[in-house]
Amino acid sequence: MKIQIDIAALRDALQKTATESRATTLPILKNALLNAQDNVLTITTTDTERTIERRVACAVSQPGAYTVDASKLKTVLSGLTGAVDIFSDREKVVAKSGRRKYVFDSLPAKDFPLPDFSGMELLEVDGEALGGAIRAVEHSSGNNDVRYYLNGVCVGDGCVVATDGHRISAVKMDTGFSREVIIPYRSRLDVADALHGGGQVFLSRQALMIKSEVATLHSTLIDCKFPDWRRACPSSDQFNTVITADKKEAMEAIQRMMPLAFTQIDKVRFHSLIYSIGEQVTLRTKTADGDDFIPVKSCDGEGGELLLKSEYVMSALKAVSADDVELHYASAEQAILLKAKNDNAYHYIMPMRM
């Protein structure tokens, strides 16, 4: 293998194919597969759960495929400009830019684990909309939960949803999926990024693949049925109060109160605030260390109060796409709903015990 490639383009591709592999006994998972053919360098990385492939234009003098430590290659290229020559020398890979020369160990390309692309079916999907929906709900997905089916984003027939058991985020839309699939936590943002700007979506029984002109992402799926999340959400007729407030003002008020709202239960640290909902939303701590308020633009209903984890409220507010946010309240024991008016994204947060 012998190529010449623009350093900035190569560095960008290495950054976009970065996968933080779990502790592994397979050293080759730390490597990127460099495959040079027809004036295109294909860079592939994998952690066996997801495989990311990026294609970059280059001048190929001698085609071939080698593996190299992706992190080391990206590090030595940082701060450099211009072009770099990359070539194989026996069992080594050499990168040379001007008088600078870097030599890397290589492992055989034939040993690099590639996914099974067989059985893939092309779906009719609005990739841009699907990627936006995944980004809108991903903050509610579980991470390392023993209920492994919660550790991801579910794409089903008519909705995209994520929950960790304490909050639920859902976007109602025509997904184009005829069956329910769960995208793992580690792959959710990679899938959303790959769908940005569109791209073809392929689905098999055990995997999802997104393919564009310059990139391909292959992700395994969580083989399990997603829980019936709708049962935990109050119906529209159960909400007795709806208020509208400025999202920025709400976030600023919560941030001001969070230093006083520190709570620790069973070595788990978080911030909780009591929300008194009415003509204004009053924020106070359980220990009465302070109070603040969120100005309300409109209030329809009698209101009430409930205890919420502030981190959940902040992440939901960040996901709301509009400047104004609606808060729908039912009771102190039922989930609240945060959403923008006339939006198809819904963010439910379960209250804590007062």
Q: What is the pLDDT of residues 263-309, one digit of tens each?
A: 766 556 678 888 999 888 999 887 777 889 999 999 999 889 999 99
pLDDT for the residue numbered 265: 63
Range of the domain at 283: 233-349
pLDDT for the residue numbered 264: 67
pLDDT for the residue numbered 213: 86
pLDDT for the residue numbered 87: 95
Could you tell me the CATH number of the domain that includes residue 288? Answer: 3.70.10.10
Looking at the structure, do residues 71 and 59 belong to the same domain, yes or no?
yes
Looking at the structure, do residues 267 and 168 belong to the same domain, yes or no?
no
**% of the chain surpassing 90 pLDDT:** 75
Mean pLDDT, the chain, rounded, equals 91
Could you tell me the CATH number of the domain that includes residue 75? Answer: 3.10.150.10
Looking at the structure, do residues 90 and 183 belong to the same domain, yes or no?
no
Looking at the structure, do residues 238 and 331 belong to the same domain, yes or no?
yes
Looking at the structure, do residues 201 and 253 belong to the same domain, yes or no?
no
pLDDT for the residue numbered 196: 84
pLDDT digits (tens, 9 = 90+) for 98-156: 999 999 999 999 999 999 888 899 999 898 999 999 999 999 999 989 999 999 999 99
CA distance 343 to 267: 38
Residue 216 lies in a domain: yes
pLDDT for the residue numbered 354: 64
CA distance 197 to 327: 32
pLDDT for the residue numbered 81: 92
Looking at the structure, do residues 190 and 240 belong to the same domain, yes or no?
no
Sort 309 into a burial class: Cβ within 10 Å, 0-12 / 13-18 / 19+: buried
Among 35-39, 226-230, 257-261, which stretch is predicted with the lowest mean pLDDT?
257-261
Looking at the structure, do residues 253 and 316 belong to the same domain, yes or no?
yes
Q: Is the pLDDT of residue 21 over 60?
A: no
pLDDT for the residue numbered 68: 95
Q: Are strands 40-46 and 268-277 parallel, antiparallel or unpaired?
A: unpaired
Looking at the structure, do residues 335 and 242 belong to the same domain, yes or no?
yes
Final residue belonging to a domain, choices 191, 212, 230: 230
Query: Helix, strand, or coil here: 19?
Result: coil
Q: What is the mean pLDDT of residues 51-62?
A: 95
Q: What is the mean pLDDT of residues 4-13?
A: 95
pLDDT for the residue numbered 269: 65
Residue 116 lies in a domain: no
Residue 72 lies in a domain: yes
Residue 24 lies in a domain: yes
CA distance 184 to 207: 11
Residue 354 lies in a domain: no
68-87 exposure pattern, b = at least 16 Cβ within 10 A, e = fewer: bbbeebbebbeebeebbbbb
Looking at the structure, do residues 322 and 264 belong to the same domain, yes or no?
yes
Final residue belonging to a domain, choices 230, 257, 282: 230
Looking at the structure, do residues 205 and 268 belong to the same domain, yes or no?
no
Q: What is the mean pLDDT of residues 86-101?
A: 93
Residue 328 lies in a domain: yes
Final residue belonging to a domain, choices 188, 204, 230: 230
Looking at the structure, do residues 223 and 239 belong to the same domain, yes or no?
no
Q: Is the pLDDT of residue 22 over 60?
A: no
Residue 78: both structure tokens together = 């940082």
Output the CA torsion sign for 117, 118, 122, 126.
negative
Residue 206 lies in a domain: yes
Looking at the structure, do residues 266 and 210 belong to the same domain, yes or no?
no
pLDDT for the residue numbered 26: 83
pLDDT digits (tens, 9 = 90+) for 187-241: 999 999 888 877 899 999 999 999 988 899 999 999 999 999 999 999 999 999 9
Number of domains making up the chain:
3
pLDDT band (50, 70, 90) for residue 48: confident
